Copies of this chain bind each other. A is one copy, B any other.
Amino acid sequence: MARYDATQKEDTRRKILRAASREFREKGVRATTVPGVMESAGMTVGGFYKHFDSKEDLFRQALTEAVSGTSRLMQMVPEDLTGDAWKRAIADVYLSEMHRDNVKTGCALAALSGDVTRSDRETREVYEAGLEQMIDQFRTKLGVDHETARAEAWQFLAQLLGTLILSRAVASPSTSREILEASRDAAAD
């Protein structure tokens, strides 16, 4: 309510963004509502457009935020690991039941892939940038030969995403566990 206090306004923006990035991941773009996000952020609807142009703009910004939060997931693994040992460690974190059950705060690339596919070019570019960031980090862990490592990085990332997505879509807990285990074991070959 104050004037010239840019910090406070920025704080509010971040609060909305954080609430939005959770709800988008959990419910998807269409089922997430502007009034709902604002309520989660502890505010009323009206103020929304002081911070964002539209719901699509919110999605784009929340995606950016969620995606950069995701690559922090990689820091949960000892820094000195490389190659197959690193793959195994990443798979254990990424394909854990904990990660599967935490859609809200988990990997945005997995949770929002479907929504992004149906979004406009600008949004898909944000998603791609996040992917590239991830691939780049993967590549440095996987070897020196640039081209081969990059291909292996894509392959590994696809495996991780596909497995997590399947494990979340399935109805029975035992099948879900089986899916996670199969790919975790594969990373340890």
Q: Is A133 close to B, CB under 8 A?
A: no
- Chain A contact-residue range equals 35 or more
List, in ascending order, chain B residues with CB within 8 A of A124's CB.
Answer: 169-171
List, in ascending order, chain B residues with CB within 8 A of A28's CB.
Answer: 28, 30, 114-115, 118
A5-39 contacts to B (CB < 8 Å): 27-28, 30-31
Instruction: Tell me the bound Cα distance from A170 to B178 in angstroms.
Output: 29
Q: Is A66 close to B, CB under 8 A?
A: no
Shortest distance from the beta carbon of A167 to any chain B beta carbon, whole Å = 9
A161-189 contacts to B (CB < 8 Å): 161-163, 165-166, 168-172, 175, 178-179, 181-183, 185-186
